[in-house]
Amino acid sequence: MVLSAVSVRAPGIINGHGVVLDSSGKIIPWTPDPTQGYDQVMNLAWNYLVDAVPSDSRNGKPAYYSHSYTVPDTQEPSDWPHNPTGLYGMLIESALKYYGYSGNIAPVRIAENVATAMISHGMTPKSSDWPNVPYASGDAGSLTYRGAAYGEADGVGDGTGVIEPDKVGEMGDAWLQLYRFGRNTDFRDVAIAAADALARHVRTGNSSQSPWPFRVYADSGLVREDYCANVIGPIKLFDGLISLGLGDTEAYQVARQTAWNWLMTYPMKNNIWSNYFEDVPIQPDTNNFNQYSPMMTARYLLEHPELDPDWERHVRDLIGWVEGNFAISSYGANTIREQKSFWYPMGSHTARYASVNALLYEKTGDVIAKEIAYRSLNWATYMARPNGVVIDGPEVNNQWFTDGYGDYIRHFMTSLGAVPTWAPNRQSHLVRSTSLVNNITYSLSEINYSTTDAASTEILRTNFIPASVAVDGLELSQRPDLTQPGWIFDPLQSVLRIRHDVGTKIQVLSVNTLPNITTTF
């Protein structure tokens, strides 16, 4: 544990420089309302992307279509290689979670638009050895993604014609979630194509060779860089398609088990968590460790503990390894550096680490993990400015669309799902669903929403005391637990938990609301 004894007291938004001084010159945190800091950060970030993000003067599109980051103060786009696939996958996850939380459909429309742009302008040819899959990188300023020419010599931005199979899995999973949300079959079809390519190319792997290479020339299948520990994206894609019965599920089962066996045999034991970021040069070995892969693996284990009988030990080991290799104490919080090749603490990575600790608290009741999560999330909020500009970190001070938006927002949503009382008091928000929420409306005394799956569990923080919960018009029973379908409400925390095994349309009414009754005369 790296934490110091100094307490970071409250989440908040300050002037964008990461600190604020009191009259004595002491650095202190600040917030207008301690119960709304995380909510404000998410709202400001999405409002910026929806309404204020600059367009590239060369193509007229919002900058995130063709640039990885902008300069915060000038809003000028950078000429660094773009990372569309990783970014778009993150934005899609953040948008879908935020929609259930807020009822704001605008971020989902951004997610659908960038997902469509990738299909139209960023896919490998059908004749390729890796056909119909997305390129991870693109040239700065270009709306067509084919790998970045910047990396022809050293691999930064992959190089023209090079893909990253782990991003194929992450984007495929994101496309699948958009399909489940809106039933757009274009998203379903490209998700299946991504899984087909991954299943066809899976390898048994060993200590120096992962199930899929990190970088590979799509047309020829020639490997450019052999090792990548980030296999959770492909595993999640396989999980989703298998559960829906889509595509070649038998091949997906085999490929998923191959990747899982490798994960548990090698990186889970030897901690070679190398290679994820698109803009690093090709490494001569597997020593460019990062925190992304172990923390996303830990999150997956916490969300699916039934898949690993030793999940708690594995999660604690992963957290400990990241703390030992990437954490640095700052103002009482553990802040997390990105990777060995870019040795800076950053908001998104600190928020990811916080969300894993929040999930660990939820599963085990470990109050130390909760405190660690709270402090780290608080530190991460200080990357946000009141105008919605979010910097990557106080030492780097660039406005990356991954680190400030897609990757950043989703970890706050994961944390609120684990600790619902971190959502604002006296407001109503759905903070987590085991399904996708594809329609939701909030009012002062009523919440109506629908889920894509009939069997699902939701967690909400409400601004009222529920009187009834109905699914497809049939009332659920209030119960002491959720071992059966029903609902439970904690009046001290204003937290409502609902389990339904059939039906997708849920109505929550307050004690002061009369049900809608239709009378036929």
Give, for 461, the enclosing helix (H) or strand (E): strand 456-461
Q: Is 60 domain-assigned? A: no
Q: Residue 478 corresponds to which tokens in the numbers above?
A: 């209030």
Whether the predicted pLDDT of 255 surpasses 80: yes
How much of the chain exceeds pLDDT 90, in percent? 89
Q: Which of 424, 457, 476 marks a domain boundary? A: 424
Whether the predicted pLDDT of 457 surpasses 80: yes
Q: Is 105 domain-assigned? A: no
Within this chain, do residues 336 and 375 fall inside the same structural domain, yes or no?
yes
Q: Which of 424, 439, 474 marks a domain boundary? A: 424
What would the pLDDT profile of 211-232 be if each residue is shown by its tens digit?
999 999 999 999 999 999 999 9
Within this chain, do residues 335 and 442 fall inside the same structural domain, yes or no?
no
Within this chain, do residues 418 and 443 fall inside the same structural domain, yes or no?
no
Q: Ramachandran region of residue 181, left (φ > 0), alpha (ψ -120 to 50) or beta?
A: alpha
CA–CA distance, 360 with 99 (Å, rounded to integer)? 25
How much of the chain exceeds pLDDT 70, in percent? 91
According to DSSP, the residues that pair with 92 across neighbouring strands are: none
Return the pLDDT at 286.
Answer: 80
Q: Is 494 domain-assigned? A: yes
Return the pLDDT at 516.
Answer: 45
Q: For 43-81, b where at least 16 C-beta lie within 10 A, e where not — what string?
A: bbbbebbeeebeebeeeeebbbbbbbbbebeeeebbebb
Whether the predicted pLDDT of 7 surpasses 90: no
What would the pLDDT profile of 434-445 be if each residue is shown by its tens digit?
999 999 999 999
Please give the residue range of the domain that contains residue 389.
1-40+289-424
Within this chain, do residues 323 and 438 fall inside the same structural domain, yes or no?
no
Within this chain, do residues 435 and 414 fall inside the same structural domain, yes or no?
no
Q: Which of 403, 424, 445 marks a domain boundary? A: 424
Which of 436, 431, 108 has the alpha carbon at shortest distance from 243?
A: 436
CA–CA distance, 190 with 173 (Å, rounded to integer)? 10
Query: According to DSSP H, which parts of 245-346 are helical?
Result: 249-265, 267-270, 292-303, 311-326
Return the pLDDT at 511.
Answer: 85
Return the pLDDT at 287.
Answer: 82
pLDDT bracket for residue 20 (50, 70, 90): very low
* Dihedral pair phi/psi, residue 474, rounded to 5°: -105, 130
Given a contact cutoff of 8 angstroms between Cβ atoms, the answer to whether 339 and 17 are in contact is no
Q: Residue 283 corresponds to which tokens in the numbers above?
A: 């490494």
CA–CA distance, 468 with 477 (Å, rounded to integer)? 8
Q: Is 354 domain-assigned? A: yes
Q: Residue 75 corresponds to which tokens in the numbers above?
A: 């809003």
Global confidence as pTM: 0.93
In sequence order, which residues have a C-beta less than 8 Å from that of residue 487 and are 6 or more positions away? 466, 469, 476, 477, 478, 479, 496, 497, 498, 499
Q: Is 456 domain-assigned? A: yes
Return the pLDDT at 36.
Answer: 58
In sequence order, which residues have a C-beta less than 8 Å from that of residue 165 and are 6 or more positions away? 130, 197, 198, 201, 212, 213, 214, 216, 228, 234
- Averaged pLDDT for residues 105-133: 98
- Averaged pLDDT for residues 121-137: 98
Within this chain, do residues 443 and 489 fall inside the same structural domain, yes or no?
yes
- Averaged pLDDT for residues 142-161: 97
Q: Residue 246 corresponds to which tokens in the numbers above?
A: 């889509």
Total structural domains in the chain?
2
At 516, the amino acid letter reads N
Within this chain, do residues 340 and 362 fall inside the same structural domain, yes or no?
yes
CA–CA distance, 458 with 499 (Å, rounded to integer)? 7
pLDDT bracket for residue 285 (50, 70, 90): confident
Q: In what order do the strands lie in the sheet with 429-433?
A: 429-433, 456-461, 495-500, 486-490
Within this chain, do residues 446 and 415 fall inside the same structural domain, yes or no?
no
Return the pLDDT at 53.
Answer: 97
E-strand ranges in 182-341 read 215-217, 223-225, 327-330, 333-339
Within this chain, do residues 332 and 418 fall inside the same structural domain, yes or no?
yes
Cα-Cα-Cα-Cα dihedral sign, residues 414, 417, 423, 428:
positive
Given a contact cutoff of 8 angstroms between Cβ atoms, the answer to whether 162 and 150 are in contact is no
Q: Is 515 domain-assigned? A: no
Place of tokens 């007291």: 9
Given a contact cutoff of 8 angstroms between Cβ atoms, the answer to whether 447 and 494 are in contact is no
Burial of 226 (0-12, 13-18, 19+ CB in 10 A): middle
Given a contact cutoff of 8 angstroms between Cβ atoms, the answer to whether 77 and 70 are in contact is yes
Altogether, the residues listed in the chain come to a count of 521
CATH number for the domain spanning 469: value is: 2.60.40.1180
Within this chain, do residues 319 and 409 fall inside the same structural domain, yes or no?
yes
- Averaged pLDDT for residues 511-520: 48
CA–CA distance, 162 with 145 (Å, rounded to integer)? 10
Whether the predicted pLDDT of 148 surpasses 70: yes
Q: Residue 202 corresponds to which tokens in the numbers above?
A: 């899976």
CA–CA distance, 296 with 315 (Å, rounded to integer)? 10
E-strand ranges in 68-135 read 69-70
What would the pLDDT profile of 326-367 be if each residue is shown by its tens digit?
999 998 899 999 999 999 999 999 999 999 999 999 999 999
pLDDT bracket for residue 513 (50, 70, 90): low
Place of tokens 């006296």: 426
CA–CA distance, 227 with 394 (Å, rounded to integer)? 31
At 81, the amino acid letter reads P
Q: Residue 18 corresponds to which tokens in the numbers above?
A: 């990461």
Within this chain, do residues 416 and 329 fall inside the same structural domain, yes or no?
yes
pLDDT bracket for residue 160 (50, 70, 90): very high
Within this chain, do residues 418 and 435 fall inside the same structural domain, yes or no?
no
Q: Is 331 domain-assigned? A: yes
Return the pLDDT at 521.
Answer: 25
Whether the predicted pLDDT of 37 surpasses 90: no
- Averaged pLDDT for residues 268-297: 94
Q: Is 189 domain-assigned? A: no
